Structure 1
């Protein structure tokens, strides 16, 4: 089995009217979860790159002028993928908004890390990199730079994925990818920094039944309310 870790740099978010891929990175894990392939390539999104997203990855219109189209680039991600192989990404729903991955299953390292490492100070791939000390597992710190570029980010995510596999199993990670998380610490609003379990009951009820917050937040509130 092979797991292909992917990352996209884009010109916008999935909900934006104008968005497209401007860089693709990939890192393969196989052979007892060793890195067996790695690369990245620029993609011409077919429209100008807005300053707000260029400020994140620093990819310019000139950089992508002669690059392949998104359709060709995404088709390239399927090369070498065999039945039973999987895709993985940190916040996989973002990549999946641009690339379906055919019939292959997905692992979201962000969602799985929230399940398996609830005490981490954050769950971005860079925070997890240092909290888990994956550099000590053999991650080349030079190859992992700069952040917010597709190739280096897939290397960091691949090493986080290895830790997740060793802490659980591939089958369990697939299950956790679509399972809502019971969150530990609230990260927004006037109660930021408090434990979810200590929130006022009326606030939990608002989150659970009236708010437009995410699935994890609603699930956490409902879980705590049910336990009280």
Structure 2
């Protein structure tokens, strides 16, 4: 039987497609218990204007929702009725995301097993390219009085499921439904109930093995999806593939956004030193290149170490390397690519008499700075050009800055504070204490500079007010 468990076919109309900024304007739900089908539909006051193109598409106007109930007044009844049901929708993550956020605004935590009829249609009818609801209605001749209204679209999904069962057989449809809606299986040794508690929120997750040994720390914009991906067999690198076989416990810590989750991940990797993590571990051999004047007017890159020099206070640095060997390898590759003299750069030591060519010159990979064929000024200019892409950026602000990250659903805000590439800590907006130790860190530098290159929807940067 297709509906052998309580189900709810849901469709929502909204003010737009952003699951946190936009709000619900109409709800249509079919509560299905075997042969019994109950319908619930209601306009919803979104508390914000409906854009004109959305009004044209759905036919729902500001006047229509002006006297409609707000979702908060419907939340408790809907939350109770949806408990334990399989939530079915066309592109179910869209409807599920809106419902979760509306319930959160009402102080309720909502979680449900899901079935996406887009995915189901692809499995049942793989010969067809299009699987939008309009395509399904036209292809299968589903008769509906209207479209782009919540209940009408929920009815269309119900009709599609019935049509597929009649055309392909109950068993075929039920088998594919069971595969798509199957509850994730916990790895051996892990409490299965943890799978139900994983949140659809950004944050950090932690895996522990026998004797509570830290195995892995990761960050995610959706903790549940990322953790379940780890448990899928045959995914990822070998060291990650071993995790499910040894995991005994899972922890997670929610954050307000993705940036905060990356910061927390780095802090936890530093403190816990998990077995599998490679990136993010504390680096005591961090070094860079600094230019100094060498013999005969040639500029020479010199190695400097973070334990000796405060990288946050030095402007002319080139590259951030985990150790001296990495720095020398990069410098050697740079010299070969740009035909710079490795002897003049200190990569190769010429032990014979002065003026003898370096080994790279013999194979055409040096323009002769070692034997006087290329002047120091010209060699220096080419070296500076080659090093330009490695230059560590200067701090572009007059002082410390704050990156604000907010939850558009609850209104919570957190501040991440930085000064001269050093992470000073995070705090609830307006708080006094900062959790963090001021230090220059290569991974923090990379995280911050990467963030600067792209606009962030839920973050804003401002100077720290003293």
TM-score range (shorter-chain normalised) is 0.5 to 0.7
Root-mean-square deviation (CA), in Å?
2.4
Q: What is residue 168 of structure 1 aligned with on the other side?
A: 173
Contact conserved, 1:120 with 1:131, CA < 8 A, in 2? no
Where relative contact order (Cα < 8 A, 6+ residues apart) is larger, the structure is 1
**1:73 deviation in Å?**
3.5
Task: Check if 1:102 corresponds to 2:103.
Answer: no
Contact conserved, 1:11 with 1:49, CA < 8 A, in 2? yes
Q: What is residue 25 of structure 1 aligned with on the other side?
A: 28
Residue correspondence of structure 1 range 1-228 to structure 2 within 5 A: 1-14=5-18, 18-31=21-34, 34=35, 36-83=37-84, 85-100=85-100, 102-133=110-141, 135=142, 141=143, 144-163=144-163, 166=170, 167-169=172-174, 170-175=177-182
Greater share of residues in strand:
2
Q: 1: distance between equivalents of 2:42 and 2:67?
A: 11
> Structure 1 residues 72, 11: CA separation in 2 closer, same or farther (over 3 Å shift)?
same
Q: What is residue 276 of structure 2 aligned with on the other side?
A: none
Q: 2: distance between equivalents of 1:3 and 1:94?
A: 17
**1:164 deviation in Å?**
5.4
TM-score (norm 1): 0.64
> Structure 1 residues 153, 105: CA separation in 2 closer, same or farther (over 3 Å shift)?
same
Contact conserved, 1:112 with 1:164, CA < 8 A, in 2? no
Unmatched segments (≥5 aa) in structure 1: 136-140, 177-228
> Structure 1 residues 175, 12: CA separation in 2 closer, same or farther (over 3 Å shift)?
same
Q: 2: distance between equivalents of 1:148 and 1:38?
A: 17
SS at match of 1:168: helix
- Point out the structure with max Rg over C-alpha: 2
**1:173 deviation in Å?**
2.9
Unmatched segments (≥5 aa) in structure 2: 101-108, 184-466
Q: 2: distance between equivalents of 1:76 and 1:118?
A: 39
Contact conserved, 1:42 with 1:64, CA < 8 A, in 2? yes
